[in-house]
Amino acid sequence: MPLERLFWWKDPSHKDPHRIAAQVMVFGNLEDIKSVREQYGESIFEEVLSSPPLGLFDEKSWAFWHKKVGKTNIPPLPGQGVPWPQ
pTM: 0.79
What pLDDT is stored for residue 80 in this prediction?
62
pLDDT for res 14: 61
Contacts of 42 (CB under 8 A, 6+ apart): none
pLDDT tens per residue across all 86 residues of the chain = 566 666 666 665 567 899 889 999 999 999 999 999 999 999 999 999 999 988 889 999 999 999 999 998 999 888 765 555 54
Cβ(61)–Cβ(25) under 8 Å?
Answer: yes
Amino acid at 39: Q
C-alpha distances out from residue 34 to 13, 38, 59, Å: 17, 6, 22
- pLDDT score, position 1: 55
